[in-house]
Chains A and B, each alone.
Chain A
Amino acid sequence: MAEKTTIVNLTEEEFVHPGNRACSGCGLSIVYRMGLKALGKNTILVVPPSCLTVLQGLYPVASTKLPCVNVTFASTGAAASGVRGAMKALNKKDVNVVAWAGDGGTGDIGIQALSGACERGEEIIYICYDNEAYMNTGVQRSGTTPQGVLTTTTPIKGKLQTKKDVPAIIAAHGIDYVATASAAYPVDLYDKVKKATTITGPKYIHVLTPCPPGWGFETRYTIKVGKLAVETGLFDLYEIDKGEFRLTGASKKLLGKERKPVSEYFKSQGRFKSLDADMVDAVQRQVDAKWQAYAEKLDQ
């Protein structure tokens, strides 16, 4: 068995250049940096418009050291299929074809192309960094914005609807690997991306990605806020490996333990300031019920 990944043995090779345009304290920057470490040099990236477009740089300078094709917003899953098609046609093996998109590009405008790619069984890795709103255009609500969150298009009451469960939708396609990860747990993310490179067919990794300006917290708290999402049981780290669900890492350790109250997470960010006590209680009850179900399901 391969050596367990630790901070100390994690590769020092970087595929992202410093001095890029990502905001200070950007969660995506951490996710991207770790993901590319796991993918390595023989990788072709497919990227729709998103904060990543900005991070990757303006012509003629690229902040990424890997080949990348920028594609239209709704087309990422299909474009990744096209790159893989070309690799097969040209008999180029051992290349990771990786789509990397935000939550809007994945679960909203891009879901059709992604669904098509999953249904066809395309040999691609799809990584969604979920910062829970349209951040690149200035924090508008998205399908994955949680209920109650203030955005520039839900400016007073907060979003009325609940968060779309995109990894569950993708898992419903019956693909062999679906995982969640978080910017706050880079080693867990690294291992999942690495694992995805060894599995055939479509692989989907959904990464919770704290965003200081969009979520309303100081740049130094990106990791703290990301960890709170997991420690309160709101966002869970898991894998669905050939249909088998299991919690991983910090979420696995929460089983049977007392979790931090969700209110602690809500208090850490400005975007939740319109939540009232009833809503907080309601969310706490939902989280408790979810974890009760985990306990029953995973205890067997």
Chain B
Amino acid sequence: MHIIESGNVAAATGVKLARAQVIAAYPITPQTPLTEKLSEFVESQELDAQYIPVESEHSAMAVCIAASSAGARAFTATSANGLLYMNEQLHWAVGARLPVVMCVANRGIGAPWTVWNDQQDSMSQRDVGWIQLYANDHQQIIDSVIKAFRLAQSVSIPVMVCYDGYLLSHTYMPFERPGQEQVDAFLPSFTPKHFLNPDEPGNFNTVTLPDIRPGVDGTMEPGYIEIRHNLHQDLRGALEVYADIDAEYEKECGRGGTPFVEQYRCDDAECVAVAVGSLSYQLRDVIDILRLEGLRVGVMSVQMYRPFPDGAIVEALAGRKSVIVFEKALSYGNQGPLYADIKAALYSRGDRPPMQNYILGLGGREIKTSQLLDALRQSCSAIEAIDDTPRWIGLKL
């Protein structure tokens, strides 16, 4: 069914269709309407879930961690400083291997305070071990949320679904809402391998030694490093699982096929612009104009940032004449995080393209189509080698 709603409501609708059982959240701009919508779903009994109005984001994730440990499907959402306040809990949720799903309405982080969009919040959490999905529009928000629950429970790793604050969270767009039966067929109920169970008591997340150690039955059990290695291997394995989940979703709901990267006019493109989120759709308009000017240019969005889909990215970018990465985030003192990751993925290739990095839109600074046109006109043909110094778009002082 087609509906016209905000990105936050698209997310909330996905959570409802996924039949989340325990929801905890603390309001923060621009995530707030999602939280409000979920409270409404629960109070009106449209969604049979426990809604726990916690007193902080740290506690929101604590509720999700504990509820998931006890075997319930758990969800939360946040933005910016709320996400950072959770940081310790993000590590905990993944280390405990809990299939929590969280939406992040991307917002710049303080200081100084900003409520406007960039992607520094979730990008800065790239190393915690969560799977990160990024949506480009409202349709991808609702679809990603549903797929995220399936992925999280398939691999026992939490999943973050990120979408641009205001640009997507608060704008109204038409999107297709899958039927409940479709989602039920796609997303089986959550049956955890391990959960808090008085009939089979276990102590979760106990202090774990540097070395392996025998258990009560004499079997040698892993040390911390083995557990962490296993997590890393599982994250790498999640790539394949997500590709299959995406294909299955496409079969059920008719949308999918681009689990890792989404390419627009890239088939014959010599130059590929890369971006994450709604910016990639803005770049489509830019590419259309540049094509009219005769430039063979395309745009690629990165839909999954962790685990890093290096295979798909190398396949899409190796052999191009240039790759231009536009980012609303920065690894301060270095480069844009996505730029650095793409460059590393291409490094071993003899046909690695020259690359350039643009930083833009931080703290919600407006990104004008003309600026993107200028940047691409300049970079597409001009760059011949990797130019690691990020260029900034739109600085006025």
Which of A72, A88, A89 lies at the interface centre, i.e. has the most chain B CB atoms within 10 A of its CB?
Answer: A89
Is A155 interfacial (CB 8 A cutoff)? no
Is B13 interfacial (CB 8 A cutoff)? no
- Cα-based distance from A69 to B207 in the complex (angstroms): 12
Is A243 interfacial (CB 8 A cutoff)? no
Q: Contact at A58–B213, with CB atoms within 8 Å? A: yes
Return chain B residues, CB-CB under 8 Å to A67.
196-198, 200-204
Return chain A residues, CB-CB under 8 Å to B66.
46, 69, 71, 78-83, 85-86
Is A87 interfacial (CB 8 A cutoff)? yes
Q: Name the CB-closest residue of B to A57.
A: B206
Q: Contact at B216–A86, with CB atoms within 8 Å? A: no
Is B376 interfacial (CB 8 A cutoff)? no
Q: Contact at B67–A86, with CB atoms within 8 Å? A: yes
Return chain B residues, CB-CB under 8 Å to A58.
206-209, 213
Is B74 interfacial (CB 8 A cutoff)? yes
Return chain B residues, CB-CB under 8 Å to A8.
none
Q: Contact at B70–A70, with CB atoms within 8 Å? A: no
> If A43-B198, A78-B59 touch, does A60 touch B216 (CB 8 Å cutoff)?
yes
- Cα-based distance from A72 to B22 in the complex (angstroms): 19
> If A89-B22, A113-B58, A116-B59 touch, does A81 touch B205 (CB 8 Å cutoff)?
no
Is A280 interfacial (CB 8 A cutoff)? no
Q: Name the CB-closest residue of A to B207.
A: A58
Which residues of chain A in 75-115 are interfacial with respect to chain B, using CB atoms and an 8 Å cutoff? Answer: 75, 77-83, 85-90, 95, 112-113, 115
Q: Contact at A112–B204, with CB atoms within 8 Å? A: no
Q: Contact at B216–A54, with CB atoms within 8 Å? A: no
Which of A61, A75, A116 lies at the interface centre, i.e. has the most chain B CB atoms within 10 A of its CB?
Answer: A75
- Cα-based distance from A78 to B67 in the complex (angstroms): 10
Is B290 interfacial (CB 8 A cutoff)? no
Q: Contact at A71–B72, with CB atoms within 8 Å? A: no
Give the distance to chain A from B216, nearest Cβ to Cβ, in Å. 6
Return chain A residues, CB-CB under 8 Å to B64.
82
Return chain A residues, CB-CB under 8 Å to B65.
69, 71, 75, 79, 82
Return chain A residues, CB-CB under 8 Å to B68.
82, 86
The 8 A CB mask of B38-65 against A (1 = contact, 0 = none) is 0000000000011011111011111111
Return chain B residues, CB-CB under 8 Å to A81.
24, 52, 54, 59, 62-63, 66
Which of B70, B204, B208 lies at the interface centre, i.e. has the most chain A CB atoms within 10 A of its CB?
Answer: B70
Give the distance to chain B from A277, nearest Cβ to Cβ, in Å. 44
Question: Which of B60, B88, B216 has a CB less than 8 Å from the CB of A72?
Answer: B88
Is A120 interfacial (CB 8 A cutoff)? yes
Which residues of chain A in 4-33 are interfacial with respect to chain B, using CB atoms and an 8 Å cutoff? Answer: none
Q: Contact at A83–B196, with CB atoms within 8 Å? A: yes
Q: Name the CB-closest residue of A to B201.
A: A67
Is B92 interfacial (CB 8 A cutoff)? yes
Is A56 interfacial (CB 8 A cutoff)? yes
Q: Contact at A69–B69, with CB atoms within 8 Å? A: yes
> If A54-B207, A65-B201, A90-B70 touch, does A82 touch B24 (CB 8 Å cutoff)?
yes
Is B240 interfacial (CB 8 A cutoff)? no
- Cα-based distance from A61 to B15 in the complex (angstroms): 37
> If A69-B66, A82-B70, A120-B53 touch, does A62 touch B203 (CB 8 Å cutoff)?
yes
Listed by A's residue number, 8 A-B pairs whose Cβ atoms lie within 8 Å are A59-B213, A67-B203, A69-B70, A74-B58, A75-B61, A78-B60, A79-B63, A120-B52
Sort A-B residue pairs by CB-CB distance and give the 6 closest, nearest first.
Answer: A82-B66, A78-B59, A116-B55, A75-B62, A86-B70, A82-B63
Show the binding face of B for A, using Cβ within 8 Å: 21-22, 24, 49-50, 52-56, 58-72, 74, 88-89, 92, 196-198, 200-209, 213-216, 221
